[in-house]
Structure 1
Amino acid sequence: MVTLSVISILLLFSFTSAGKNDVYEGFTVHGIKLREQSEVTILREVVAILDLDVWSHGAVGLRDAVVMVSKENESKLLDYLDENGIHHYVHLADVVKALDEHDEAVSNWKRRRNGKMVPFEDYPTYEEVKFILTLVVNDYMERLATKYPNLVTLVNAGPSFEGRDVKYLKISTTNFTDSSKPIYFMDATMHSREWVTTPVTLYAMHRLLEDLRSDEHDLLETVDWIIMPIVNPDGYVYTHTDERLWRRTRSYRPEISTCYGVDANRNFNISFNTIGVSSNPCSDIYPGPAPFSEIEAVYIRDIVFEHLDRIQVYLNIHSYGNFILFGFDDLTLPPNAVELHYVGAVMGAAIDTVKLPIAPHYLVGNSAYLLYPVSGSAQDYVQYVGVPYAYTLELPEFLRYDFRVPPEYIEQINIETWRGIAASARASTLFYTRRHNSV
């Protein structure tokens, strides 16, 4: 049996390349106050004109927008905001310095833990996550094979564009054969720079398999689970080795452009390439040449259709901003919008009961109204094809840490998010049981 100490040793490895953050030399990050909806429109205009990297779209009167800009375009951005009377401030004056300091903080965190790390308390590399997934299955099945011989199945959806395995766990007491049980499907790291999303999924596995509390047996006995920790492994690896803030996949189509990648969360076949996207193949919101051009999006689609009659909740986990969002992104609402809002509010309220005072309360609502319209999102597509409750979860924002969440906060985010996941599983299961019993 492989012990936890072996995991701890593996988690001490680092694949970070020295000087990799120099690619952001001269870049700055600015916070933008949004006082009214007209300012959101103005911000969208300048983002499109200058092809800015939007870290957070904000919410009018509630959350500031945050954008990164190159040295060449900084004065253009600030002049545009000033001309329109929009208040702004410096969020990060030196992106390279900020990222270098975060890398050092993560390294120090590992050293201080002195080999006592567990998978969901760190930012594991792809290789570490791949090992952990195998270990969770084998170790748990070895200890509990006689009682739960079919509790866990490790599935390889297939290779990414660059050939890395895209794996996920199926967790079920009935090996997914009981049609009366709803399925909760969650995934993470569709946007590769959002590292803090992966530990949340690993922690969910831990709670279901290794630390099932006495008051949580219903979550395992009445719900089946599909958990994919890294949707976009190519991009995730690239953020560890080359560009920390890389967001897209790493597909390459030289007949179209010399730029790599597509925004996987704009690549789904719903209102494809119509709003909230860019035709520039080098843009972070480039949707791709066609719906499902990205194999990583195809895997999400195929899992959904394989279990469409039973998936009750789809949770697409992102970072950051304290949002629970649902469709549709074209400013229309699904027929069950009231139920969608209710289950989302249950999730948010459960998280807020244990959140840190420095984090805002979760905002719950339609993604287009609360943030901005987009096309081709996973959330919208999964909702449209028939999953009752499809959400985008934006994990917490702590002070000014944006994507650079200190590892000391990972445990807090895991615990509070699990509260929300558990609450939403129970709330949605009630609706599922009623519908199932009425058929």
Structure 2
Amino acid sequence: MKFSLGLLVLLACGATFVVADQDYEGYRIYEVTPSNAEQASILHQLSAEGFDFIGQSRLLGQPSRVIVSPGQLDKFLQLVKDHKMIHSLFNSNLGASIAEEFVQLQMQRLMNPITGKGRLSNERYYSHEEIINYIDDLAQRYPKRVYVKTVGWSYEKRVLKTITITNGDGKFGKKLIFMDGGFHAREWISPAAVLYVIDQLVENFQENAYLLEDYDWVILPLVNADGYEHTQTGTLARMWRKTRQPYNYLGQTCYGADPNRNFDFHWNEEGASSNPCSDTYAGPNAFSEPEAVVVRDLMHSLSDRGIMYLTIHSYGNYLLYPWGWTSDLPDNWQDLDAVASTGAEAIKNATGTVYTYGSSTNVLYIAAGASDDYGYYAGFNVSITMELPGAGSIGFNPPVTRIEEFVTETWIGIRAMAEKLFELY
């Protein structure tokens, strides 16, 4: 289906949906594959200069994807030509892709409304309110096994809640897994995957009861509620990554910080920015973002029992562990590697999808102040970032017709990592 680049109006089932003018008109996505260390370094520098990399790897021969605005196009094409970089056009019209995605989102919400009761389908992406209503309903339907707690509020005063899932045996002090999703606003598949994990542990309890025998699971399904909701307000906001707290910079207002650069462990070192308008802005100080504070406080409150911290992102087919601020490895890196490799192997055996695993800096890129480093620092034996595969014309999110495929594949890896964790601890 093709859409014009002006105002898009969709009439469906008697309802009118309006998608605003495509502010990404003329934007493109290029795929660039570095073949030597110099080229990899150049790509990293482009990221620091404001090019939006939506999929980036420091491994030679592995492609990176970058959004190129009309104003950046000449510089980008000249650079890849001068340095003989392998590149190809992945998406020639990002604006049209975003418009089409919004039509699909609105259509699916119309055709698949939820009442706040019962299981969620995997046929669409859900709003923050719908996610909160769902976990609240689970707590009401399974009061002996499920507990929901308000753990804080976003900058714009959206409630942040955790769901604690047990087997209902009443035993206190069990070891636990702490999991979260939705750190970066535009990564819609992340909360969707986390919701599927919740579904499997609660609604599909009989099959997965062994995962709750000696461990409890504490899950924060959506960290960056403000940013996530902002990305669903219209096409201009679709690629938003950060939180929504405003900051003044050279007389202009720039919104948000990257919550995954806002943690007070090697804060604002390499891989983060001091520019409030940058997508990787670390904030004016560590823990300036209330959403990061919520995750920090949860980590410290759970670390005496916490064995694994798992955070779900998109995209890139990675299972990453500390450190992200240095190429050095933690003392128990073999355990981290064993858990990550087990997840990667399980997914490959089940679906053929290949995940790369290793420490964040050595496999992907240096990124100081991230939550996985802080989780390990706070006392979790194993701390892993899972970057789900990309799909569709934008990359971040599978089309709604493929959500089921992606979330079930993700669950296979998470379940296998949990099983390995039980062996080690």
Match for 2:388: what amino acid? L
Aligned equivalent of 1:105: 104
Match for 1:410: what amino acid? I
Tell me how large the CA RMSD over aligned residues is.
2.5
Which segments of 5 or more consecutive residues in structure 2 lack a partner in the other structure? 1-11
2-structure distance, mates of 1:174, 1:112: 36
Secondary structure of the 1:247 match is: coil
Does residue 305 (structure 1) correspond to residue 300 (structure 2)? The answer is yes
2-structure distance, mates of 1:108, 1:28: 26
| Structure 1 segment 2-13 matched on structure 2, within 5 A | none
Q: Give 1:103 deviation, angstroms.
A: 2.1
Aligned equivalent of 1:225: 217
2-structure distance, mates of 1:120, 1:296: 26
Q: Give 1:60 deviation, angstroms.
A: 2.7
String of CA shifts for 1:156-176, please: whole Å, max 9, x gaps: 111100000011101123688
| Structure 1 segment 29-44 matched on structure 2, within 5 A | 29-44=29-44
String of CA shifts for 1:326-361, please: whole Å, max 9, x gaps: 110211100000110001111111122222x5xx40
Q: Which moved more, 1:329-338 or 1:411-420?
A: 411-420
Does residue 194 (structure 1) correspond to residue 148 (structure 2)? The answer is no
Q: Give 1:107 deviation, angstroms.
A: 4.0
2-structure distance, mates of 1:121, 1:380: 33
Q: Give 1:153 deviation, angstroms.
A: 1.0
| TM-score, L = length of structure 1 | 0.87
Does residue 152 (structure 1) correspond to residue 151 (structure 2)? The answer is no
Distance verdict in 2 for CA 1:404–1:306, change over 3 Å = closer
Match for 2:376: what amino acid? Q
1-structure distance, mates of 2:287, 2:396: 27
Identity percentage over the alignment? 32
| Structure 1 segment 374-385 matched on structure 2, within 5 A | 374-385=367-378
Distance verdict in 2 for CA 1:255–1:247, change over 3 Å = closer
2-structure distance, mates of 1:117, 1:156: 21
CA contact 2:98–2:394 (8 Å) conserved in 1: no
Does residue 418 (structure 1) correspond to residue 417 (structure 2)? The answer is no
Does residue 239 (structure 1) correspond to residue 239 (structure 2)? The answer is no
CA contact 2:344–2:413 (8 Å) conserved in 1: yes
Aligned equivalent of 1:435: none
CA contact 1:328–1:366 (8 Å) conserved in 2: yes
Q: Give 1:118 deviation, angstroms.
A: 2.6
Secondary structure of the 1:71 match is: coil
Does residue 325 (structure 1) correspond to residue 320 (structure 2)? The answer is yes
Q: Give 1:391 deviation, angstroms.
A: 0.6
Distance verdict in 2 for CA 1:219–1:293, change over 3 Å = same
Distance verdict in 2 for CA 1:273–1:203, change over 3 Å = same
CA contact 2:314–2:389 (8 Å) conserved in 1: yes
Distance verdict in 2 for CA 1:21–1:345, change over 3 Å = farther
Q: Which has a greater percent of helix? A: 1
Aligned equivalent of 2:88: 89
Q: Give 1:398 deviation, angstroms.
A: 3.5
| TM-score, L = length of structure 2 | 0.89
Aligned equivalent of 1:3: none
Counterpart pick for 1:251 among 245, 254, 276: 245
2-structure distance, mates of 1:217, 1:172: 9
CA contact 1:176–1:224 (8 Å) conserved in 2: no
1-structure distance, mates of 2:95, 2:119: 27
CA contact 2:27–2:94 (8 Å) conserved in 1: yes
Does residue 354 (structure 1) correspond to residue 350 (structure 2)? The answer is yes
| Structure 1 segment 364-383 matched on structure 2, within 5 A | 364-383=357-376
1-structure distance, mates of 2:170, 2:297: 16
CA contact 1:238–1:246 (8 Å) conserved in 2: yes
Does residue 278 (structure 1) correspond to residue 277 (structure 2)? The answer is no
1-structure distance, mates of 2:370, 2:170: 27
String of CA shifts for 1:154-208, please: whole Å, max 9, x gaps: 11111100000011101123688533x3211111110010001111111111111
2-structure distance, mates of 1:403, 1:239: 12
2-structure distance, mates of 1:176, 1:364: 36
1-structure distance, mates of 2:172, 2:96: 53
Q: Give 1:62 deviation, angstroms.
A: 4.7
Does residue 129 (structure 1) correspond to residue 131 (structure 2)? The answer is yes
Match for 2:65: what amino acid? V
2-structure distance, mates of 1:234, 1:114: 22
2-structure distance, mates of 1:347, 1:120: 22
Q: Which moved more, 1:183-192 or 1:31-40?
A: 31-40
Match for 2:130: what amino acid? E
Q: Which moved more, 1:398-407 or 1:366-375?
A: 398-407
CA contact 2:91–2:394 (8 Å) conserved in 1: no
CA contact 1:346–1:424 (8 Å) conserved in 2: yes
Match for 2:137: what amino acid? L
1-structure distance, mates of 2:40, 2:21: 30
Which segments of 5 or more consecutive residues in structure 1 lack a partner in the other structure? 1-11, 142-148, 433-439
